[in-house]
Structure 1
Amino acid sequence: MYSTGSSSSISIVIGDLNSDNRSDIAFINNDTSTIGIMLGYDEFFPIQMTYATGTSPYSVAVGDLNHDTRLDIVVANRGSNTVGVLLGYGNGSFADQMTYSTDSWPLSVAVGDFNNDNHLDIVVANYYGNNVSILLGYGDGFFENQTTFSTDSGPQAVAVGDFNSDTHLDIVVANADGNTVSVLLGYGDGSFANQTTYATGKWPGSIALGDFNNDAQLDIVVDNYGDNAISVLFGYGNGFFANQTKYSTGSSPIALAVGDFNNDNQLDIVVVNRDGNTVSVLLGYGNGSFANQTTYSTGSRPLSVAVGDFNNDTQLDIVVANRGGNTVSILLGYDNGSFANQTTYSTGSNPIAVAVGDFNNDTRPDLVVANLNEKTVGVLLRYDRGALEDKITFAPTYGSRLRNFALFDFNNDSLLDIAVVNYGTNNIGVLLGYGNGTFGNQMVLSTGLNSHPYSITIHDFNRDGQADIAVANYDTKNLVTFLGSGNGTFENQERYGVDFDFAPLIIGANSFNKDGRSEIFVAYDGIDYVDVLVTYDIGSFSNHIKYSTGNWPRCVALGDFNNDTQLDIVIANRYDNTVSILLGYGNGSFANRMTYSTGSNPWSLAVGDFNNDTRLDIVVANLGGNTVSILLGYGNGSFANQTTYSTGSNPKCVAIGDFNNDTLLDIVVTNTGGSTVSTLLGYGNGSFENQTTYSTGYEPWPVTVGDFNNDTRLDIVVANFGVNTISILLGYGNGSFANQMTYSTGAAPGSVAVGDFNNDTLLDIAVANFGDNTVSILLGHGDGSFANQTKYSTGSGPSSVAIDDFNNDNRLDIVVTNWNNNSISIFLGYGNGVFTKQMTYVTGTSPSSVAVGNFNNDNQLDIVAANAEDGSVSVYLGYPNEGFLKQMRLITGNGSRPKSYAIGDFNNDGQIDIAVANSGTNNISIFLRHDNGSFGNQMAYATDSSPWSVAVGDFNNDTILDIVVANLGSDNVGVFLGRGN
């Protein structure tokens, strides 16, 4: 256990905060409003396992001696004049040694294939025998008896390599008493030529090989114990070597190894200085020369050295066997050739030699140590068990009352940064990391007045490849998003759909259905369910651009009146007795208006080709003249003078369609004064029959058409302003209609539109109810009948309604003009007949009518609204924009009080599932995600008292996710092992 220094540490996250490839821990201390950081380091080799050897084991080497792909150990037993072979099982354990006789006092051992039979053989340097022993391997872990070859006096170390480029291994021996090295060239059959000797310094005791001058030939380096130096002998590639070049070391150099410690592709040398209790590192220049030594402390009386990457950072590290301290020292390397201070691990008594290999096939380097006095070799397996340094604390600001935080790389420098939630100061702070475990001053981002932010999550909410932040505000019950720029700065973005009914306690983000859109799940304080919100293109609109019309524009419609493939606008001006034409440029802007006379008090209009000349014409309902006006278009944006046809009393609204299936357009008009509708059948030449009238409800206003009973014949729907109903008149297909059927609406229905809102291929109806500030949705049954209305709140005085798909999700949406508060409302459809809450945009004064089209050819729908009292139309250009829509609700049970969540694929179906810790019911809920993006009902599993936090991981290495729960009430953790289903 590690102390946090706080009695109230409330949140914890894990990440690599100092870029050392080790996990660190950060946590919040609630009582002191500080962040605590504990930097992780690896306790690499916590426990050694020992295996019996002969007397005084003095040197070790490793290799696969029996072709089982598992490393084995060879040890030179000085006191018993043998070599011991310990075959590995591949799990870090070894069989008992098998011994083979050597000559007197074997001090060094190495392995190689000396007779080219693809089996490893052994070579041993025998100090008192003045020779080397060759033991040829059979490839099954057994060896022939030794054959000896003479060396100079006192051979103490041996190494193998191909010195004459003949593909046969050769041997080089350091002769301590002769102050020479012996080179024995191999014939490739297990025998060797007589030695050739080269002078060294005094008492050479260790030897290593490498290409130090980049000539592709092996060179030799030996340490000279007696004169505190190393000797480098450059190879010519023909089996001969140049005279030595010497470099100073520390006191009594006794062992060495080579490697590239500074990643410059040049070999460097590390030397053990016995009496100085140090290692010397000499960085190579690649031309055979070396920089002056740099020394690093080791344990007491270091005698052996090896190299390997012990912390998986791709940098070579150093391991030293310390005879006087009964330890090995690990010095972790930096990429510039320098090393960290040593970390020591216990060995047996008098460790005299060390070697590196992966003995348990976990891809991590392990150690084998020869313990001289114990007659054993010790194996230290690398476990990466992990430990923590003392904490570092950061105090954001006074009164911050930290509640939560998250780690992420916000500025793309590959270093982790911190985002903290400051409940007390109504903001979040972003602290950019320096990569050494320290952080810069926090950058403060406001979450709103009295917001009291509580929870935080990180995701790419706008799909720009940069990390964004979402924060749940406890007191204002909403969500704030901060869009990241990728350089550590953020922009606060107002987003639709982020207001909650309850105080949010926990939020998290992921893309559960793999569509690239972020989803946020929210758990509320004291509420027994979790909501899932999906980021969505909400089809936002620019600020409106206004264009002048005539006096009191009452209705607006769209069409291409000059055949340039660009949408134009036509407006009925009630008090001017005109229509205005605004030709579109195709970039979202429009020309000044052209006007044409109509009858008295034009209230409504519609657009169609009434004379079959492929040019759009206009029909206008004249409230004051009891007529409709027909203006035939010339196809260049201009129109002929009107022709009028009589209607009933006070015609208010007009619609068109082919009511008698003759492929010619007809007209239907609502007569407010007579509570009827008039149909005028078209002749196809721009003229029409006299009207036929049908009864409706009281004060019929709006009218539109559609096939409500799927008989391929157009029907009529009329909203009856005076009696709060709609009338359905089913068509017979011959121009006549059945008597009305009525359905209730809201108060004073003033506009109507039709479309398929629930994707069942059946037409539904939307009604704007001016009197009670709602829009009614009536879903169609496909037989001409409709379900009871469902109402959604609008702005004040909804006067007009239109439908289309504003966010390109293939689901119909609704737009409503609000007369009394000068706005339009957008309702996005879910495609099941249900709609979101409204989004509003400002209009001109008293918006009376709305139409939808693409004015700037950008694949986004735009909106135009007629503003009655200021003589204008407002144009809104659409653009894609991400917001949040409530997608589903996950029920956790009565009194469950969810406190924490975790995510993972619990049933191995490739879908991300959710686990929730329910503190009130002492269980966890599992919600499995289906392929269609929905979640199944909860599966509950009992825990101990008051589960407060949950996490997931594979705890038993069966590739199936498991769950761990922290139980606050019972002071324990519970583990649920997953079954993969």
Structure 2
Amino acid sequence: MVQNYHHYIVIVADSIASRIIPKCQFNFKATAQNPIEYKYGPRAVTMGDFNNDTWLDIVVANYDADNIAIYFGHGDGTVANPIKISTGKGSAPYMIAVGDFDNDHRPDVAIANFGTNSIDILLGFQNESFANQIFLSTESSRPVWIHAADLNNDSAVDLVTANYGTHSVSIFYGNGDATFSNSSNYSTGYDSFPLAVVSGDFNNDKQIDLAIANYGTNNVGILFGTSNRTFTNQFTILTGPNSNPYSLAVGYFNGDMILDIAVTNYGNDSIGVLLGYGNGTFMSQMTYSLPNASPYAIGIGDFNNDNRMDLVVTNNGSYNIALLAGYGNGTFASPTMYSTGSSSSISVTIDDLNKDNRSDIVFISNDTNTIGIMVDYDEFFPIQKTYSTGREPYSIEVGDFNNDSHLDIVTANNNENTVSVLLGYGNGSFANQTKYPTGFGPQSVAVGDFNNDTHLDIVVANTNNNTVSVLLGYGDGSFSNQTKYLTEASPIFVAVGDFNNDTRLDIVTANSGDNTVSVLLGYGDGSFANQTIYSTGSQPFSVAVGHFNNDTHLDIVVANYDGNTVSVLLGNGDGSFSNQVPYSSGSGPVSVAVGDLNNDNVLDIVVANTNDATTYSTDSQPTSVAVGDFNNDTRLDIVTTNFGGNNVSVLLGNGDGSFANHTTYLTGSGPDAVAVGDFNHDTQTDIAVINFNYNTV
């Protein structure tokens, strides 16, 4: 079933005819993309309430345009058109910081100008401008970062810059009246090329220390503050060969009230987390991989309201930003990627733009000259656990096989001629697999009680010898030897349902080798009648069952890969079916699922299309689709496995048949099939995925 797939899914609403649904909003609850004028070269972004209306505003440093732009907030996550303020010809503003430098209780702006080796300080916005503009020289330093904080405990805000040109940091102590001392300079090491500096008390001596991202020497530098307004020589923490740390942030990641550090390692596509001991030393770096992402800027916030710090990272090479949910113990979930439409998202800031007590995200994209605003993030699948299966698992299903009220997993292992059964413990974890032989080339698996003994059984479609295997369950998680039944050529998918209303489960297979489905009626004792064959479209790849015409008789829908159609075969209630009625789908439909997507009590059809863009984008090469309510809003959502992207896409339903843009969650290599269920009894729907290339689930 692994093909050269592309990445789209189509919604066929009301099971009557295909229709194209418009693309929906970005997958945060509210977003905005605000244009910055062409070739302005935005470099940095931060926030503050500059006009004292209690709503946060956004300020952007535009490197190419030699100005900053202020976007006044409306309080709902949107902003007004900008007011622009020049920073001087050739100034090339690179970074900005906000603080109250003159103690007038109004936020001021400090700008690090790379081009003119200076700091601009803009005091007190009023009458659509800042009252005063003050300049500080940084000599020949080429400042690329500026940070505002009270570094010497005198209640006046100070400034510190990271100096790319002189491999140093410079500290300007504030006097509280918008004047500053001459710079105090500290070396960060030969060829260190420092790119970022932040502050915090890392050794719990009540003196503020500095942490520096040294891009050139692959380390984080720490300068410890003293009581006499000086800092010690730099102490370094290695971040790994060729890691090239680019940005950093500090926060409490493990609940011990000792500051920790997170750093973006641009050179090796990872995030490093350094947990503090409270004495100025740190644990060895824990890393989180962001393949091919070139992580750039990093921010910290509680995005899912669980009182644990999460991370957000802008990626300079992968058209997305990454969110890593924190567990509160110093570790983080695998990254969740959100599309930005830009390959150069380079700066991020975090605050509550719309006063809903949730952390919002603002980022800028240099190549598209835009500001992205993302509000009200919801976390769904922070935890990924992996378990071994047989070779080349192709299909997955869930059920309670040992009657302990915990969901278990079964996979069909194509290259091993087995199924793997993994019994669930009810806490989201599973026992090691137990394997059972099948026919040749098991491609699909389904479950049901075929002998009416209240124990779930298994049926497998064996593509290479044109059979289905039935394995009867004993109710303790073990299964009988297989019994095989003939189908037509190359059964590639199997589903079950009661097609003749006798309370006994029957079987249907999609036979890709001769464009048919086979229906095998069950006797209720675990055995089945010989097949009855019905024609479909060209190369049926998937089959699902449901009541499509509300007559109490189960019907069949088939995804026809070569025919670019879905076929609906209406059931007569006696185990027979009418001739197919084809409906156009997108190009290369490979998987089909059913559910009431628009809450009209009429079943709808979801199809994963592999070859064209008809409605909602997923990631690369979707191979399987399922539906479930993943955010407990009583509206069905969609999940697809994306074989080429090594992830799943979740599209949240709006309850009217439309869906939000997809959110991706990383899996193992080659995710090929998906099943859903509540594996840990928390009333949240979970996702199980088989990883074809890793032989895992």
TM-score, scaled relative to structure 2: 0.57
Q: Does 1:501 align with 2:342?
A: yes
- Structure 1 residues 802, 482: CA separation in 2 closer, same or farther (over 3 Å shift)? closer
Q: Matches of residues 65-214 of structure 1 in structure 2 within 5 Å? A: none
Give the match for residue 579 of structure 1. Answer: 419
How many Å apart are 1:703 and its aligned residue? Answer: 0.7
Q: Does 1:430 align with 2:254?
A: no
* Counterpart Cα distance in 2 of 1:739 and 1:412: 82
Alignment partner of 1:545 out of 358, 370, 386: 386
Give the match for residue 119 of structure 2. Answer: 34
- Structure 1 residues 458, 795: CA separation in 2 closer, same or farther (over 3 Å shift)? closer
Alignment partner of 1:803 out of 607, 624, 627: 627
Helix, strand or coil at the partner of 2:338 = coil
Give the match for residue 443 of structure 2. Answer: 603
Alignment partner of 2:594 out of 749, 754, 769: 754
The answer to whether the 8 A contact 1:35-1:394 is kept is no
- Structure 1 residues 744, 16: CA separation in 2 closer, same or farther (over 3 Å shift)? same
Deviations 1:857-912 (A, max 9, x none): 45554444445566x332xxxxxxxxxxxxxxxxxxxxxxxxxxxxxxxxxxxxxx
The answer to whether the 8 A contact 1:36-1:394 is kept is no
The answer to whether the 8 A contact 1:12-1:25 is kept is no
Q: Does 1:739 align with 2:562?
A: no
Alignment partner of 1:399 out of 135, 139, 142: 142
Give the match for residue 651 of structure 2. Answer: 828
How many Å apart are 1:5 and its aligned residue? Answer: 14
Helix, strand or coil at the partner of 2:388 = strand
The answer to whether the 8 A contact 2:315-2:343 is kept is no
* Counterpart Cα distance in 2 of 1:639 and 1:452: 48
How many Å apart are 1:761 and its aligned residue? Answer: 4.9
The answer to whether the 8 A contact 2:398-2:408 is kept is yes
* Counterpart Cα distance in 2 of 1:470 and 1:723: 43
The answer to whether the 8 A contact 2:508-2:517 is kept is yes
The answer to whether the 8 A contact 1:675-1:698 is kept is yes
Give the match for residue 472 of structure 2. Answer: 632
- Structure 1 residues 587, 523: CA separation in 2 closer, same or farther (over 3 Å shift)? closer
Kindly report the root-mean-square deviation, in angstroms, between the aligned alpha carbons of the 2 structures.
Answer: 5.3
Helix, strand or coil at the partner of 2:478 = coil
- Structure 1 residues 429, 460: CA separation in 2 closer, same or farther (over 3 Å shift)? farther
- Structure 1 residues 765, 516: CA separation in 2 closer, same or farther (over 3 Å shift)? farther
Q: Look up the equivalent residue of 1:743 and give its one-letter code.
A: Y
Alignment partner of 1:672 out of 505, 512, 517: 512
- Structure 1 residues 16, 656: CA separation in 2 closer, same or farther (over 3 Å shift)? same
The answer to whether the 8 A contact 1:408-1:418 is kept is yes
Give the match for residue 446 of structure 1. Answer: 246
Deviations 1:471-492 (A, max 9, x none): 9799997668899999xx9999
Gaps of 5+ in 1: 41-386, 777-788, 875-981
* Counterpart Cα distance in 2 of 1:739 and 1:667: 18
- Structure 1 residues 739, 518: CA separation in 2 closer, same or farther (over 3 Å shift)? farther
The answer to whether the 8 A contact 1:724-1:748 is kept is yes
- Structure 1 residues 529, 762: CA separation in 2 closer, same or farther (over 3 Å shift)? farther
Q: Does 1:622 align with 2:446?
A: no
* Counterpart Cα distance in 2 of 1:452 and 1:396: 31
Alignment partner of 1:839 out of 645, 650, 664: 664
* Counterpart Cα distance in 1 of 2:309 and 2:435: 53
Alignment partner of 2:569 out of 708, 717, 729: 729
Q: Look up the equivalent residue of 1:824 and give its one-letter code.
A: N
* Counterpart Cα distance in 2 of 1:595 and 1:615: 18
* Counterpart Cα distance in 2 of 1:410 and 1:828: 46
Give the match for residue 289 of structure 1. Answer: none
* Counterpart Cα distance in 1 of 2:332 and 2:310: 9
Q: Which shifted more, 438-447 or 663-672?
A: 438-447
The answer to whether the 8 A contact 2:516-2:534 is kept is yes
* Counterpart Cα distance in 1 of 2:332 and 2:524: 58
The answer to whether the 8 A contact 1:612-1:685 is kept is yes
How many Å apart are 1:697 and its aligned residue? Answer: 1.0
Q: Matches of residues 522-533 of structure 1 in structure 2 within 5 Å? A: 532-533=373-374
The answer to whether the 8 A contact 1:541-1:862 is kept is no
The answer to whether the 8 A contact 2:541-2:590 is kept is yes
The answer to whether the 8 A contact 2:381-2:665 is kept is no
- Structure 1 residues 428, 853: CA separation in 2 closer, same or farther (over 3 Å shift)? same
Q: Matches of residues 333-732 of structure 1 in structure 2 within 5 Å? A: 393=136, 395=138, 398-401=141-144, 427-430=195-198, 443-444=212-213, 446-447=246-247, 461=303, 463=305, 496-497=337-338, 499-501=340-342, 511=352, 515-520=356-361, 532-542=373-383, 544-549=385-390, 551-732=391-572
Helix, strand or coil at the partner of 1:731 = coil
* Counterpart Cα distance in 2 of 1:742 and 1:712: 21
Helix, strand or coil at the partner of 2:402 = coil
* Counterpart Cα distance in 2 of 1:711 and 1:724: 28
* Counterpart Cα distance in 1 of 2:545 and 2:491: 17
* Counterpart Cα distance in 2 of 1:542 and 1:640: 34
Helix, strand or coil at the partner of 2:387 = strand
- Structure 1 residues 477, 689: CA separation in 2 closer, same or farther (over 3 Å shift)? closer
Gaps of 5+ in 2: 1-84, 166-192, 202-206, 214-244, 248-263, 268-292
* Counterpart Cα distance in 2 of 1:412 and 1:666: 76
- Structure 1 residues 423, 672: CA separation in 2 closer, same or farther (over 3 Å shift)? same
How many Å apart are 1:609 and its aligned residue? Answer: 1.4
Q: Look up the equivalent residue of 2:577 and give its one-letter code.
A: F
Q: Look up the equivalent residue of 1:755 and give its one-letter code.
A: G
Helix, strand or coil at the partner of 1:496 = strand
How many Å apart are 1:419 and its aligned residue? Answer: 8.9
How many Å apart are 1:718 and its aligned residue? Answer: 0.8
Give the match for residue 273 of structure 1. Answer: none
* Counterpart Cα distance in 2 of 1:637 and 1:467: 40
Q: Look up the equivalent residue of 2:358 and give its one-letter code.
A: R
- Structure 1 residues 721, 502: CA separation in 2 closer, same or farther (over 3 Å shift)? closer
How many Å apart are 1:656 and its aligned residue? Answer: 1.0
TM-score, scaled relative to structure 1: 0.42
Helix, strand or coil at the partner of 2:419 = strand
Count of residues paired in the alignment? 496
- Structure 1 residues 749, 429: CA separation in 2 closer, same or farther (over 3 Å shift)? same
Q: Give identity over the alignment, percent.
A: 44
- Structure 1 residues 738, 417: CA separation in 2 closer, same or farther (over 3 Å shift)? farther
How many Å apart are 1:672 and its aligned residue? Answer: 2.7
Give the match for residue 851 of structure 1. Answer: 675
* Counterpart Cα distance in 1 of 2:416 and 2:197: 59
Q: Look up the equivalent residue of 2:540 and give its one-letter code.
A: P
The answer to whether the 8 A contact 2:449-2:456 is kept is yes
Helix, strand or coil at the partner of 1:500 = coil
- Structure 1 residues 407, 859: CA separation in 2 closer, same or farther (over 3 Å shift)? farther
How many Å apart are 1:704 and its aligned residue? Answer: 0.9
* Counterpart Cα distance in 2 of 1:492 and 1:863: 15
Q: Look up the equivalent residue of 1:446 and give its one-letter code.
A: Y
The answer to whether the 8 A contact 1:623-1:652 is kept is yes
Helix, strand or coil at the partner of 1:765 = strand
Q: Matches of residues 270-309 of structure 1 in structure 2 within 5 Å? A: none
The answer to whether the 8 A contact 1:417-1:439 is kept is no
The answer to whether the 8 A contact 2:668-2:691 is kept is yes
Q: Look up the equivalent residue of 1:33 and give its one-letter code.
A: S
Q: Look up the equivalent residue of 2:198 and give its one-letter code.
A: V
